[in-house]
């Protein structure tokens, strides 16, 4: 049976059942992987579908069948367990940019005396091994193991063998959305103390419904949705960043009388079909403020071309848009560029960068997404933070800011970080296992769904122009996957 596009989960289930019965775990895993890939590249599904119990159950059945076939050879390979604590982190791909890499580093630093092994399935291209070896592995006992360049079932066999033979003290699952191999690997009969870290929280993500794993959510919106709407027995561990110091009080806001703004996000958060375009709004923002805008994070050449074209249209000098593809620390960059206001990314908010901005004592503004509380990040920011939905609201707010306004907001921002996101507190939670004592902030009353705007946006998605845009986007992902595997 060849790979085909499924219009029904029921049909997909039947095919996977048949493939498992025939012993074709490779194709069964690929069917699930490709189906999820189709869902997460469809804008209409974003922040609407977070998990699938049916798909998670399929992955578990595939993993159970595979484990039973290799059980004999795995048993022979189990070594004598030593006294050293070993923690395993299962990922799809490790790269220097991306929040889940930072989370893994934080978990490792919380247990500096232990041995840490990162197992990567490499289903989304090759990991950046140099980043690990030249970074955190220089300070701690960290090893990166990459799955062999073979088919899905062979990767699953490799992963299950490593889990059984390593006999970890604890295991963290931080898979990409579509990684059927990672989600199939951890079986209840292994008896592992394991946690699913729900970082793939904007889309359908495999692993959300694995009941034999502790389900960790790291921001209030995700915790409340998973607990209240999906009925998941979850725990809350807030995002944390090491303290690099607040903004220097001697540095005045609005240097030279102009506003310096900043957004930190890669293309996967801002180059997304939505009723407000970040790419189109940046030139308008600079026209209104007369200041600078710093963008941190890699954008596509097309996005950069559109921004620069917009600058010319509004007669804004090109040097007032500062593009920085990558920095080692967003926190430090905010200080170095004397940023006055952090504009949280949209339409997809970024939790970790928002926490860094607040820790740095930078005032923040949040986009109030038209239908998704999770994508908005309102609960993650300090209660006094301004939130906007329509472009004019943001532009008017930026025009109205004074030095005193910014000083007050800076104080609120830093207090929020100190109360909820300090790394020392995170370390205590991880080392002591005190997750049950953590309670997220309540949901804000400031968010509501704009049904009219949402309906108009959804209707627009079925036009020929947007169908073509989605085709180009999927084509881009396909080529990216090919080149990453080379």
> What one-character-per-residue DSSP string does 69-96 give?
HHHHHHHHHPPPP-SS-EEEEEES---S
Residue 157 has pLDDT above 50, yes or no: yes
Give the pair of three-digit tokens for residue 223: 């915790």
Query: HEC states along 153-177?
Result: HHHHHHHHHHHHHHCCCEEEEECCC
Express each pLDDT in 210-224 by its tens digit. 999 999 999 999 999
DSSP state string for 110-150? HSTTSEEEEEE--BTB---HHHHHTTGGGTS-EEEEE--SS
Beta bridge partners of 234: 215
Split at pLDDT 50, 70, 90, the class of 75 is low
Residue partners of 125: CB distance under 8 A and separation at least 6: 93, 480, 481, 483, 484, 485
| Band (124; pLDDT cuts 50, 70, 90) | confident
Q: Spell out the residues 6+ positions from residue 225 whose beta carbon is closer than 8 angstroms to its own.
A: 50, 373, 374
- Give helix then strand counts, H and E, for the chain: 19, 13
* Per-residue pLDDT tens over the stretch 43-67: 788 888 899 999 999 999 999 999 9
Per-residue pLDDT band at 464 (split at 50, 70, 90):
very low
Residues 161/187, Cβ–Cβ less than 8 Å: no
In whole angstroms, give the CA distance from residue 28 to residue 184: 11
In this structure, what are the phi and psi dihedrals at residue 85, rounded to the nearest 5 degrees? -75, 135
Question: Hunting for tokens 């946690």 — which residue is that?
Answer: 195
Q: What is the pLDDT of residue 480?
A: 61
Question: Which fold is adopted by the domain 255-437?
Answer: Rossmann fold (3.40.50)
Question: How high is the pLDDT of residue 130?
Answer: 78
Strand extents, DSSP E, 288-380: 292-296, 321-324, 341-343, 364-367
Gap between the Cα atoms of 458 and 421, Å rounded:
36
Q: 175 pLDDT exceeds 70? A: yes
On the question of pLDDT at 2 being above 60, the answer is no
* Mean of pLDDT values over 328-346: 96
Distance CA 15, CA 9 (A): 10
Given a cut of 50, whether residue 486 has pLDDT beyond it is: no
d(Cα 298, Cα 409) in Å, to the nearest integer?
A: 28
Interval 329-333 mean pLDDT: 95
With contact defined as beta carbons under 8 Å apart, do 265 and 345 qualify?
Answer: yes
Say if residue 277's pLDDT is above 70.
yes
State which CATH number among 3.40.50.880, 3.40.50.300, 3.40.50.720, 3.20.20.80 fits the domain covering 9-217.
3.40.50.720
By the 8 A CB rule, do 426 and 110 touch?
A: yes
How many angstroms separate the Cα of 135 from the Cα of each of 105, 128, 217? Answer: 10, 11, 26
In which band, very low, low, confident or very high, does the pLDDT at 286 lie, cut at 50, 70 and 90?
Answer: very high
Residues 6 or more apart whose CB falls under 8 angstroms from that of 463 comprise none
* pLDDT value, residue 456: 86
Rounded Cα gap, residues 32 and 139, in angstroms = 38
Q: How confident is the model at residue 71 (pLDDT cuts 50, 70, 90)?
A: confident
How far apart (Å, rounded) are the C-alpha atoms in residues 13 and 397? Answer: 51
Distances 194 to 159, 165, 188, 214, 242 between C-alpha atoms, Å: 14, 15, 10, 6, 25
Share of the chain above pLDDT 90, in %: 71
């Amino acid at each position: 049976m060849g790979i085909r596009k499924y219009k029904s989960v029921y049909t997909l289930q039947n095919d996977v059942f048949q493939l498992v019965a025939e012993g074709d775990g490779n194709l069964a895993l690929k069917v699930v992987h490709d189906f999820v890939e189709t869902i997460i590249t469809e804008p209409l599904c974003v922040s609407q579908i977070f998990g699938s119990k049916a798909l998670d159950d399929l992955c578990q059945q595939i993993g159970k069948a595979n484990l039973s076939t290799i059980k004999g050879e795995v048993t022979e390979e189990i070594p004598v367990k030593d006294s050293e604590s070993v923690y395993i982190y299962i990922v799809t791909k490790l790269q220097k940019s991306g929040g889940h890499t930072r989370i893994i580093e934080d978990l490792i630093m919380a247990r500096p005396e232990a041995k840490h092994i990162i197992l990567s399935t490499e289903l989304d291209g090759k990991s950046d091994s140099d980043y690990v070896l030249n970074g955190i592995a220089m300070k701690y006992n960290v090893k990166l193991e990459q799955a062999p360049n073979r088919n899905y079932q062979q990767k699953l066999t490799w992963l299950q063998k490593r889990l059984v033979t390593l006999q970890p003290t604890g295991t963290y699952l931080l898979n990409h959305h579509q990684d059927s191999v990672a989600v199939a690997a951890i079986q209840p009969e292994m008896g592992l103390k394991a946690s699913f870290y729900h970082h793939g929280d904007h889309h359908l993500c495999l692993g959300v419904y694995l009941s034999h794993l502790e389900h960790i959510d790291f921001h209030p919106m995700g915790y409340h949705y998973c607990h209240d709407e999906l009925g998941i027995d979850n725990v809350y561990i807030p995002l944390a960043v090491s303290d690099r110091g607040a903004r220097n009080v001697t540095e005045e806001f609005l240097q030279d009388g102009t506003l310096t703004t900043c957004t930190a996000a890669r293309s996967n958060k801002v180059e997304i079909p939505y009723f407000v375009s970040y790419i189109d709004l940046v030139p308008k923002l600079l026209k209104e403020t007369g200041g600078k805008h710093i963008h941190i994070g890699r954008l596509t050449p097309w996005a950069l071309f559109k921004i620069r074209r917009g600058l010319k249209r509004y007669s804004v000098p090109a040097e007032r848009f500062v593009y920085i593809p990558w920095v080692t620390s967003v926190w430090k960059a905010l200080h170095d560029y004397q940023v006055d206001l952090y504009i949280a990314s949209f339409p997809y908010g970024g939790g970790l960068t928002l926490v860094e901005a607040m820790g740095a004592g930078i005032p923040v503004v949040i986009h109030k997404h038209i239908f998704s509380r999770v994508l908005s990040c309102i609960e993650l920011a300090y209660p006094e933070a301004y939130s906007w939905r329509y472009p004019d609201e943001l532009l008017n707010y930026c025009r109205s800011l004074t030095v005193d306004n910014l000083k007050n907001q800076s104080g609120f921002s830093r207090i929020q970080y100190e109360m909820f996101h300090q790394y020392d507190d995170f370390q205590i939670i991880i080392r002591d296992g005190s997750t049950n004592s953590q309670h997220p902030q309540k949901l804000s009353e400031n968010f509501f769904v704009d049904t009219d705007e949402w309906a108009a946006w959804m209707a627009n998605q079925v036009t020929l122009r947007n169908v073509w845009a989605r085709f180009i986007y999927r084509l881009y992902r396909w080529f990216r996957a090919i080149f990453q595997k080379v």
